[in-house]
Amino acid sequence: MSEKVDISVIIVNYNVRDLVDNCISSVQKAASGNFSVEIFMVDNNSIDGSADHIRSKYPDVTVIENDQNIGFSKANNLALKRSAGEYVLILNPDTLLEEGTFERMIGFCRDHPDAGAVTSKLILANGRLDSACRRSFPTPGVAIPRILGLSKLFPKSRALAKYNLTYLDENLTHEVDAICGAFMFIPAKVFKKSGYFDEDYFMYGEDLDLCFQIRKSGYRIYYYPEVTTIHFKGESTRKTHLSYVNNFYGAMSIFVRKNLTGFSKLLSPVLQAGIIIRSSASYSKRLLGYFLLPLIDAVLLYAAYILAVRIRFNIFPNKDYLFIITVYVIVWIILLALFGLYTKKKSLSLARAFNAVIAGFFVNSSITYFFKEYAFSRSVILASTILAVVFLLSWRWVYSMFLFFKEKNILLNKINLLVVGSGKLSQNSEDKLNAKYNILRFAGEKKNRIFDLQEQIQINNVHEVIFTDESFSNQQILDLMWRFRNRNVRFRIIPSDKELILSKLNASSIDEINLIEIEYNINYKMNIFLKRIMDIALSAALLATVYPAVLLYRSLSGKPLSRPFSKLLLLPKVFSGKYSLVGYPVWLQKEHTQFIGKKGLTGLIQLNYYDSMSEEEMQNLNFFYAKNQSTALDMEILLKTFFLTLKNNRS
């Protein structure tokens, strides 16, 4: 006789291996031996190795692999037909359960025998409620205010905010029309009356439809906030793709067509029209993102040609000229596309932009030979080409520098990050975080110090919190997130067996497995050559401009120079090759340092130095620099040094 199963947990996965790993881990913690739980993971043909990873790490989990992405409904139904639990939990892979989830959910269902489906309070990683966790059916009175945007303008209005029920107290239990498929706790007997998920839905809308069928079967749907679940929303289904628009609005259209009756059925054409309008707006917004770069280039190319005509003939191009210019601009846009300038990875490539413009010059010049009716002054084509190079490369360079300054935090606008627990990040991870955060620490050896932690967050004006071990339970973390939901504090969790950061917008491993490397970037001959060229060029420029001023100031004032400016006196040694602009500190006297390069006027140690910095910390910074040295990293360090010096002089 087989063992009785209390709960069947079903998770549909698509290319979110680390997320589903943590989700399953939280399910096992929530069960904690008190309940018999079977877990199904249905994998929709992921390419990230999810199925093999889960099968290896969690042998008790039943992994169902599909050879194609069959959608949410069909995938869930595969597991539902094999489930044996008294209760079924439909769960998204981008969720984390708290301890006590099953005990409270089962207790609620037993106290409410009319419950056909129950959801928990779903909170996002910033601690705020996921508004999609409780909804009304999209009848005309509900959907029209939603389509018109009135529900966002008046979130507390019972008449206008029915779709997401934002007027309800989120801390009280409510009967609702529908709940979110990210967390649906359903007594198995309910499926005998309601049936499984409607497989006409691929993704989105199937949860709404199932709730509709459950209510038709005589059961009620509940929102139960005594249980809290973290929802890292949208990780497996990014909303930036056009497929999201197809799936979401297509699902709404199916629901309206299949389920509305009576007066609502008569108004369904109005709803369909509204769905078409909203989907068209979403398409337009996303298409604008695709065509934004070609539009910018086209405007600048038109400007280049018009300016070239103005310079050459001192006139504004007439109608015929504008037609010819349009032909030339189209040729250039096509070539820019062929050179890959409108792909995400290569859109800001200066070399490709230059090559595409030069190729366009030859193509457009040939037009004047083979198509006399489109003949143009070759001097205008040459001038417009020069201007096009300047315009197209300039905006890409400016935007690249903006992204560089932002990503590397060159201006050193750091925010406070609190690392909680005794778990340690790898040096690579910590260096990445150091670029953007002031890292504070909270030791978590003692349990139940949640109030001390709360006080630390408030006193230090912390913006992000990382939990590195299990000093605090999921329940305590969830309570903390809820307490700070209105302060926009982000919370991240690092499981003990991997360095995984889960954040509001994205969840990804911040480090891959680090293999031991024998070679370091700083010892590559090309890197040595480029670093020396940069040292010579910059030190020569500084010797000709800044160095004399520093010497003059020291001789006239008779005062010792401050530490940053005193380093400028070492510029001759940089020019001669004894020192480098970037390297380990000149005052650091260590043996066997050849492999980390030369001493430098600035470097990672100098930027991050504090009085109690240990030798191990300095060694780790030296290793990191030697391993990752590049011209870009050197420029980043020099710029940060410059802005840090300015800040210190102002303060």
The average pLDDT across 588-605 equals 74
Q: Tokens standing for 366?
A: 């040939």
Q: 3-class SS at 465?
A: strand
What's the CATH number for 7-237? 3.90.550.10
pLDDT for residue 373: 56
Percent of the chain whose predicted confidence (pLDDT) is above 70: 77
The pLDDT value given to residue 464: 82
Going by pLDDT thresholds of 50, 70 and 90, the confidence category of residue 226 is: very high
Tokens representing 211? Answer: 């709730």
Helix (H, G, I), strand (E, B) or coil at 637: helix
CB atoms within 10 A of CB 351: 10
pLDDT of residue 332: 92
Mean of per-residue pLDDT scores for the chain: 79
Q: How many CA atoms lie within 13 A of 250 on its CB side?
A: 12
What was the pLDDT predicted at 269? 62
Look at residue 176 in the predicted model and tell me its pLDDT: 93
* Confidence at residue 80, expressed as pLDDT on a 0 to 100 scale: 94
- Sequence-separated (6 or more) residues with CB below 8 Å from residue 15: 46, 47, 48, 50, 236
Q: Give ∠ CA 613-618-624 in degrees, rounded to 5.
A: 140
How distant, in Å, are the alpha carbons of 335, 540, 543, 581, 584 from that of 576? 46, 10, 12, 12, 17
Residue-level pLDDT at 419: 82
- Residue 129 DSSP code: B
Degrees to nearest 5, angle at CA 224 with 223 and 228: 115
Q: What is the pLDDT of residues 66-111, one digit of tens each?
A: 988 888 889 999 999 999 999 999 999 989 998 889 999 999 999 9
Predicted local confidence at residue 428, as pLDDT: 55
Is residue 7 predicted with pLDDT exceeding 90?
Answer: yes
Contact predicate 252/147, CB 8 Å = no
Q: Which residues of 143-182 are buried (b: 16+ CB within 10 A; e: fewer)?
A: bbbbbeeebeeeeeeeebbbbbbbeeebeeeeebbbbbbb
Q: Which residues does 430 contact at the CB level (< 8 Å), separation at least 6?
A: 439
Return d(Cα 471, Cα 647) in angstroms, integer: 38
Q: What is the mean pLDDT of residues 147-170?
A: 81
At residue 322, the pLDDT reads: 78
DSSP 312-348: HHSS---HHHHHHHHHHHHHHHHHHHHTTTTSTTTTT
State residue 485's pLDDT score: 67
Q: Which amino acid is at 8?
A: S
Confidence label for 242 from pLDDT (cuts 50, 70 and 90): very low
- The percent of residues in the chain predicted with pLDDT above 90, rounded, is 28
Contact 119, 134 (CB under 8 A): yes
List of residues 6+ apart from 545 with CB closer than 8 A: none
Does 38 have pLDDT greater than 90?
yes
**Better-scored residue on pLDDT, 110 or 477:** 110
Q: HSE-up of 606 (CA within 13 Å, CB side)?
A: 23
Please identify which residue in the block is written with the tokens 């869930």: 76
Residues 6+ apart with CB under 8 A from 385: 304, 357, 358, 360, 361, 364
pLDDT of residue 120: 95
CATH number of this structure's domain 415-509 = 3.40.50.2300
Region 546-562: mean pLDDT is 83
What is the C-alpha separation between 306 and 302, in angstroms, rounded?
Answer: 6
Give the DSSP H/E element, type plus range, for residue 156. Answer: none
* Structure confidence at residue 343 (pLDDT): 86
Q: Residue 315 has what pLDDT?
A: 77
In whole angstroms, what is the distance from residue 456 CA to residue 450 CA?
10
- Res 173: pLDDT: 95
Pick 316 or 594 by higher pLDDT: 316
Angle value at C-alpha 192, between 186 and 195, nearest 5 degrees: 80
**pLDDT winner (highest mean) among 209-213, 287-291, 596-600:** 209-213
| 512 pLDDT tier (thresholds 50, 70, 90) | very low
Model confidence at 1, pLDDT cuts 50, 70, 90, reads very low
Q: Tell me which residue of 291, 388, 406 sits closest to 347, measured CA to CA.
A: 291
How many Cβ atoms from other residues are within 10 Å of residue 271's Cβ? Answer: 24
Instruction: Measure the CA–CA gap between 619 and 600, rounded to whole angstroms.
Output: 15
Residue 572 has pLDDT above 80, yes or no: yes
The pLDDT confidence band at residue 486, using thresholds 50, 70 and 90, is low
Q: Give tens-digit pLDDT for 379-436.
A: 788 888 999 999 999 999 999 888 877 766 666 666 788 888 776 655 555 555 665 6
Residue 238 predicted with pLDDT over 50: no
pLDDT band (50, 70, 90) for residue 500: very low
pLDDT at res. 392: 94
Tell me: pLDDT of 356 over 60.
Answer: yes
pTM above 0.75?
no
pLDDT in tens, 631-644: 888 888 898 888 88
Q: What is the pLDDT of residue 537?
A: 92
**Quick one: pLDDT at residue 626?**
81
Q: Where are the domains of the chain?
A: 7-237, 289-408, 415-509, 521-650
Give the CA count within 13 Å in the CB-facing half-sphere of 357: 25
